[in-house]
Structure 1
Amino acid sequence: MSDRTRTSSSDADIAAADGVAAAGAAGSGPRRVALEIAVTSLAGARTALAEGADRVELCTALEIGGVTPSQGLTEAVVATGVPVHALVRARGGDFVYDDADLAVMEHEVRTLVAAGVAGVVVGALRADGSLDVDAVARLVSAARDAAGVRPAELGGSRLDVTVHRAVDRAASPVDAVAALSALGVDRVLTSGGASRARDGLASGALPDIVAAAGGVEVMAGGGVRLDDVAALVAAGVAAVHLSASTAATSARGEGNGPSPVSLGSAGATDAYAVTDASLVRAVRAALDAAELTRTPSPRTP
């Protein structure tokens, strides 16, 4: 699930991170900390790929935490060559789903896998705040089955399954993550049960999740900023996730200026999120630099 907090950084921070890019790249290897950028557009995916992201999480409606992207957008982003992990979320709001919601998401999983995504991002909770093991297993099974019959040119049977930040809303995020390895999940996106990953780090919850994850890879996300990167890497996460976005408005306009007609909720504007190339580049450099000094982590190779 996408990082809903706008990520910002000073020009000085970005310049400093750019300065260590060469050293970081030289030390990179197969186990380098992965960078995942949440994007909502083809342009964002191209920017993320060009500036060093290892993959993108593709969704729409970042302002509500993200929902499933359209088939057309998915196919266009897959065609860029960047590994695409597509969010599967039928609606905004909570993560307690009924059978109708799950049926929709199963269909979305199959459609996304057929479009050639490298991974899907799923998650569900029960009303009591525990992980909905049955719902997650159902979505994982749909993903594996769909990958098993797709042609090699669209990725074949290889498919990553990530559980999103629904675990951060669980009554016990640590227990929720500990249950994932039995479900065939590859990765979990988590802030450690906090609004921001740095707060989950400070509380000790994020390190506890890293320790409890077993063979499930832990990806830190949730309000991640450039100055959080070194501490997250030191905590042993395998990947870092952020939107690296900034607000933009169209230069084209309509008529003689902004329209007085609102097409959304009260207070909505024509601003939209775009991927900040300099920030993606800076975070990639910071990750590589932090990896050089990190002690061996408990994550599984």
Structure 2
Amino acid sequence: MTEILLEVCVDDADGLLAAIRGGADRVELCSALEVGGLTPTPGLIDLARSLNGSVPVFAMVRPRAGDFSYSDREFESMRKDIECVAKARLAGIVFGANHCDGTLDRHRLEIMAKMAKEFGLGTTLHRSFDLVPNIGEAIALAAEIGIDRILTSGRSAKAIPDGLEDIAKTVEIANGKGIKVMAGAGIRAENVGQLFGRIPFGIWEVHSSCSSVEETNAEKSGQTIAKFGFEPNGGKRRTNESEVRRMKEALGRD
């Protein structure tokens, strides 16, 4: 039986260490996961480089929160970010670009995919895919320009249960096109079995933050900095080593 690969998304140094120690097969390195993940800081990229070892690290390339329709200046910054990832010798990039109608921006995706391949970087099309109006056309485009995999929640806020039908459809269409499908968004050790109950074949990679809510240092000391907008109310979600291990166990990888 083919083993299911676990990719863990993290947005800080402690989460990165937890993912590696917990046994993640690959790490998606971001900042600001509360808005879906943004480009990580140079310091975090450098830390990932120094800790990389045998665990591949893919860096998010997303310059801001919001939609995926970028200005020329934003796109220029994305290209520079790809160069930074390559210089740090990370394993790959996670990226996306759409037109205002949700269709994939072939021109910009092709430029970034070509850059990645020239630098020897792997490529993941992130959940900008979940905004597309036509799954088949988007998969064909991604495969044609050489993207390695698509991360999808099945065009839903959460992959389980709402996205299962679309994920199954994506797997079916992608079959034989040389592109992988990775399921993600709200997947936990408690519910990942539902994914494989609905889609027994074709999903060989799972994406999860493997996180739990932690009381922040400010909350522990009685400070109320959340009212200033410096942190979310109710604690911060952070990748937890034990949650990574639980997910590995749920995937039959303990």
Q: What is the aligned partner in structure 2 of residue 117 from structure 1?
A: 90
One-letter identity of the residue aligned with 1:79: S
Q: What is the aligned partner in structure 2 of residue 247 from structure 1?
A: 213
One-letter identity of the residue aligned with 2:105: D
Deviation at 1:237, TM superposition (A): 0.8
Cα distance between partner residues in 2 of 1:270 and 1:278: 21
Tell me if 1:55 matches 2:20.
no
Tell me if 1:98 matches 2:71.
yes
Q: What is the aligned partner in structure 1 of residue 185 from structure 2?
A: 222
Provide, for residues 159-183 of structure 1, a one-character-per-residue CA deviation record: whole Å limited to 9, x for no partner: 2100000010111234312321111
What are the ranges of 5 or more consecutive residues in structure 1 without an aligned counterpart?
Answer: 1-26, 148-156, 290-301
Contact 2:226/2:232 (8 A) holds in 1: no
Cα distance between partner residues in 1 of 2:21 and 2:226: 37
Tell me if 1:83 matches 2:56.
yes
Provide the TM-score with structure 1 as the length reference.
0.75
Q: What is the aligned partner in structure 1 of residue 131 from structure 2?
A: 169
Contact 1:41/1:73 (8 A) holds in 2: yes
Deviation at 1:261, TM superposition (A): 7.5
Q: Secondary structure at the match of 2:244?
A: helix
2:246 aligned to 261, 272, 282, which one? 282
Provide the TM-score with structure 2 as the length reference.
0.89
What are the ranges of 5 or more consecutive residues in structure 2 without an aligned counterpart?
Answer: none
Q: Secondary structure at the match of 1:104?
A: helix
Cα distance between partner residues in 2 of 1:260 and 1:205: 40
Q: What is the aligned partner in structure 2 of residue 69 from structure 1?
A: 40
Q: What is the aligned partner in structure 1 of residue 9 from structure 2?
A: 38
One-letter identity of the residue aligned with 2:244: V
Most deviating of 122-131 and 268-277: 268-277
Cα distance between partner residues in 2 of 1:239 and 1:101: 30
Provide, for residues 227-269 of structure 1, a one-character-per-residue CA deviation record: whole Å limited to 9, x for no partner: 3322324242120001111222344779x7314684427x844
2:170 aligned to 206, 209, 234, which one? 209
Higher Rg: 1
1:144 aligned to 92, 117, 127, which one? 117
Most deviating of 34-43 and 272-281: 272-281
Q: Secondary structure at the match of 2:163?
A: helix
Q: What is the aligned partner in structure 2 of residue 132 from structure 1?
A: 105
Deviation at 1:49, TM superposition (A): 1.6
Give the number of equivalent residue pairs.
Answer: 246
With a CA cutoff of 8 Å and minimum separation of 6, indicate the structure with the bigger relative contact order. Answer: 1
Cα distance between partner residues in 1 of 2:217 and 2:65: 30
Q: Secondary structure at the match of 2:62?
A: coil
CA RMSD of aligned residues (A): 2.3
Cα distance between partner residues in 1 of 2:60 and 2:142: 17
Provide, for residues 29-52 of structure 1, a one-character-per-residue CA deviation record: whole Å limited to 9, x for no partner: xx4110011101222122112222
Provide, for residues 90-124 of structure 1, a one-character-per-residue CA deviation record: whole Å limited to 9, x for no partner: 10001111211111101101111111111100101
